[in-house]
Structure 1
Amino acid sequence: MLQTIEAVNSAVNNFIWGVPAMICIIGVGLYLSIRTRFLQIRKFPYAIKTTIGRVFRKREASDGAMTPFQAVCTALAATVGTGNIAGVAGAIAIGGPGAVFWMWISAALGMCTKFSEVTLAVHFRETNARGELIGGPMYYIKNGLGKNWRWLAALFSLFGVLTVFGTGNATQVNTITTAINSALLNYHLINEDAVSTSNLIIGIIIAILVATVLLGGVKRIGRVTEKLVPFMALIYIVLSLGVILLNLNRVPSVFASIVEGAFSPASVTGGVVGSFFLSMKKGVSRGIFSNEAGLGTGSIAHACADTKKPVKQGFFGIFEVFTDTIVICTLTALVILCSGTPVGYGEAAGAELTISGFTSTYGNWVSIFTAIALCCFAFSTIIGWGLYGARCIEYLLKEKSIKPFMVAYSLVAIIGATADLGLMWSVAETFNGLMAIPNLIALFLLSGTVARLVKQYFETEGKTN
């Protein structure tokens, strides 16, 4: 049975993440960049100034909404997760160091893609029966493209519900158990025989915590993420910079291997990874897994923001992709490649490879800190994706379906704690690809609306900036 699932998933995955998908993802990002005259580069200083300024502005949101800061923290909670730690490690192991280069390329275009998603989500959002602001790809398809396209909105929501269980939950819990068990084994607090029991206990605890947060509604989600995200990012960035500074002499050769490996993987990996397309595929797919540009999911959180300016909120999309991929994913790659930890090219790898990068530099004592950071990353992702799944199921089956979904979503944590990592990542990657298709079609068709909104924004208050 397991072999059949692996075979089917492999076939679908290879098709979805084949040449057509690469062309669509990069093509739509390039097309949106052209329509907005490369806004993500042209207005990058303005985007950073606007977003950072609003991050430190404290205010309360109206009922049924989040503050813009809470919205970006919820979106970052979902994006800054195991894709940054386990995902990058897996991409390097399977695609070679060159996969990092293709992450950068996908992020450069993805900044404009995510800007467009957030802008459209805020522009076309609605208010539900509970007085909450709701939006995302299904709503900008429904309200932006008209009734003849509602089947596409339903398709996105369906894939969204299926995706959140793997991408947003199971893979994240698997990373948490890996991080905690690595720390416990390093300190000889448990032995190998006790790992399965430890996994089960961790899964049950996470399930209870997730249910507690999600069932508290959108405001509780916002309050948790605005505290958790800055804390976890700071710990991880400080630890990562320490590894790089202690191995500064290796940095030039690591960057050289990333660029060389992007076009000639075999020359860097000793021939184990010899496919240029494999390196590109892993870099782009894991990059999207990490920053979600093209999936449309992050826009669901931003639609909850208490703001009347879609374009201004859209700049948070640029900020998110830059923070997630250009900053944090690059730090992870440098931790692995600068530390000198052995990389088994061609073999599946996850969070343990990143942890090894830290421990080989600092020693085993740091495993407790990396475990905490990894747990925060993963738990915040579970919360963010829980909101996404709730919005998708609400669109499909209305309000009565939300609480049953949240209970089921919480219980998946127990399954994720004991499942196979390799198959889990592969299935999550497949559903990510399926979810992107309806969203990319909508972004292409609504590109004119994005260009018009940008023009209007800078003709008014944005003109002087």
Structure 2
Amino acid sequence: MENLIQIASKINSIVWGAPLLILLVGTGAYLTLRLGCIQITKLPLAFKYMFAKEDEDSTGEGDVTSFQALCTALAATIGTGNIVGVATAVKAGGPGAIFWMWVAAFFGMATKYAESLLAVKYRVTDGNGQMSGGPMYYIERGLGSKLMAKMFAIFGIGVAFFGIGTFAQINAISDSLKDSYNVPVIVTGIIITLLVTMVTLGGINNIAKVSEKVVPFMAILYLLASLTIIGLNIKLVPEAIKLVFTSAFNPTAAIGGFLGATVKGAIQNGIARGVFSNESGLGSAPIAAAAAKTKSCVRQGLISMTGTFIDTIVICTMTGLTLVLTGAWKSELSGAAMTNFAFINGIRIPYVGKFIITVGLMFFAFTTILGWNYYGERCAEYLFGIKGVKPYRYIFILIVGIGGLSILKLDLIWIIADIVNGLMAIPNLIALVGLSGVVISETKKYFDRAKEIEEINENHVELRKSC
């Protein structure tokens, strides 16, 4: 097993080397400049659209509402990355990794906007009458490369089967329940497999309905718990934030059980874990965005953009601050155990912290499994047609069952997840750069039209006043 981990680590260091990090952040930075910092200037409008019920939502083609599409994407992104991933990043890269998560998320918001816009623009209707969209379609129909489109779809199925979609989530749930309440791993695995089977066989509508109810609940519960810890340690917050910034640009010395970290380690772990958490640039969220009932690709792009903000800027920051404020990052613990330690010691009420982390992790990880089941399904449908959907679902359920046995070590699980994530991101990022002109054009047309409508309405108001 140790040899396998070493081999996987070497492959991971190649995949997540400087070229991919530059491509990932560089694409986001390029889109940010070309779109005039849309993640800042249009963020209030994006949140307005997220909650607004507009006419186009009811008349546009699609399978689910824009909000359900966002919740499905959030269900897939708000998972172990927010609890285990942040702890893993801080353990390896120190508190400075949190800063690089913010950097990845800031530029990632522009990336998420662009890829979701393209997903809606180039989506198609499959043989079952459902919407299919995502990088495989805009790579083929927009960029004109069937080879890269197929590569993305293959890597997407790989992530669903062996990356974010199964092993990382199931392992986190099983370990958390075993550590907190001594629930046997095999029992947890059987229950998860049965629940996944019940929901996923119903397709996107079932997944969207579950996500719409569960995602807001679990996010609010987790945020309230995190804010409680921050509130109880409010005097330490300025020092914690200072440590995050200083550690981002200076090596972090060994403290307690923490072995010390280089700046390179902080950057690599922060960006990799940030991408694992919010999935900006991976091309996953646009697959859900393509199913939204909307006529405007720009509007859906803006709504999807809020997902990265909620996931990383809000939720991952809450986790990171609790780890720093409680000193958990200096302990010998790692993963869910480290975050569990932070919440138990931070809330200081017997059993409450442990309960919140365990329940939160269960909800987070379970909905991530559901979301990635759908992403992989759309990739399978692209490669094999609608006849490939059912076999894919059965294989996915089988892998969930195998994952429930917790055969693989946590370190190996995260390394495998990183490798397939990186491979999935490469063709998507190339397509985003190649289709950036389309993104700019669609954005300009949308806001020019919106400005014209606003001016017409203002003129009507003036005419009424003069009359």
Q: TM-score range by the shorter chain?
A: over 0.9
Indicate conservation of the 8 Å contact 1:232/1:373, yes or no: yes
- Using the alignment, how far apart are the partners of 1:58 and 1:204 within structure 2? 42
- Residue aligning to 1:331: 318
- Using the alignment, how far apart are the partners of 2:225 and 2:59 within structure 1? 34
Identify if the C-alpha distance between structure 1 residues 112 and 54 changes in structure 2 by more than 3 Å, giving closer, same or farther. Answer: farther
- Superposition pairs of residues 374-453 of structure 1, within 5 angstroms: 374-417=361-404, 418=406, 419-453=408-442
Provide Cα deviations, 1:420-461, integer angstroms capped at 9, x if missing partner: 111001110111001000000000000000000000000112
- Using the alignment, how far apart are the partners of 1:87 and 1:132 within structure 2? 33
Q: TM-score normalized by structure 1?
A: 0.92
Which of 157, 163, 176 is equivalent to 2:153? 157
Provide Cα deviations, 1:93-131, integer angstroms capped at 9, x if missing partner: 000000000000111100000000100000000000111
The amino acid of 1:255's aligned partner reads: I
Indicate conservation of the 8 Å contact 2:62/2:292, yes or no: no
Which of 280, 285, 300 is equivalent to 2:272? 285
Say yes or no: does 1:356 pair with 2:341: yes
Which of 454, 457, 465 is equivalent to 2:446? 457
How far residue 462 of structure 1 moved from its aligned partner, in angstroms, is: 5.5
User: What SS class does the counterpart of residue 168 from structure 1 fall into?
Assistant: coil
- Residue aligning to 2:140: 142
Which of 214, 224, 229 is equivalent to 2:200? 214
- Residue aligning to 1:187: none
How far residue 60 of structure 1 moved from its aligned partner, in angstroms, is: 6.7
User: What SS class does the counterpart of residue 166 from structure 2 fall into?
Assistant: helix
Indicate conservation of the 8 Å contact 2:89/2:269, yes or no: yes
- Using the alignment, how far apart are the partners of 2:380 and 2:222 within structure 1? 33
- Residue aligning to 2:461: none
How far residue 266 of structure 1 moved from its aligned partner, in angstroms, is: 2.4
The amino acid of 1:126's aligned partner reads: V
Provide Cα deviations, 1:248-275, integer angstroms capped at 9, x if missing partner: 1111111011001001132475893241
Indicate conservation of the 8 Å contact 1:163/1:431, yes or no: yes
How far residue 51 of structure 1 moved from its aligned partner, in angstroms, is: 2.0
- Residue aligning to 2:12: 13
- Residue aligning to 1:66: 64
- Using the alignment, how far apart are the partners of 2:438 and 2:219 within structure 1? 34
The amino acid of 1:95's aligned partner reads: G
- Superposition pairs of residues 5-84 of structure 1, within 5 angstroms: 5-54=4-53, 65-84=63-82
Identify if the C-alpha distance between structure 1 residues 99 and 61 changes in structure 2 by more than 3 Å, giving closer, same or farther. Answer: farther
User: What SS class does the counterpart of residue 101 from structure 1 fall into?
Assistant: helix
Indicate conservation of the 8 Å contact 1:200/1:414, yes or no: no
Which of 192, 203, 219 is equivalent to 2:189? 203
Instruction: Let me know the Cα RMSD of the aligned residues.
Output: 2.1
Identify if the C-alpha distance between structure 1 residues 446 and 232 changes in structure 2 by more than 3 Å, giving closer, same or farther. Answer: same
Question: Which of the pair has more CA radius of gyration?
Answer: 2
The number of equivalent residue pairs is 448
Runs (5+) with no aligned partner, structure 1? 185-189
Indicate conservation of the 8 Å contact 1:54/1:68, yes or no: no
Indicate conservation of the 8 Å contact 1:213/1:220, yes or no: yes
How far residue 22 of structure 1 moved from its aligned partner, in angstroms, is: 1.2
Q: TM-score normalized by structure 2?
A: 0.92
Identify if the C-alpha distance between structure 1 residues 432 and 54 changes in structure 2 by more than 3 Å, giving closer, same or farther. Answer: farther
Say yes or no: does 1:175 pair with 2:162: no
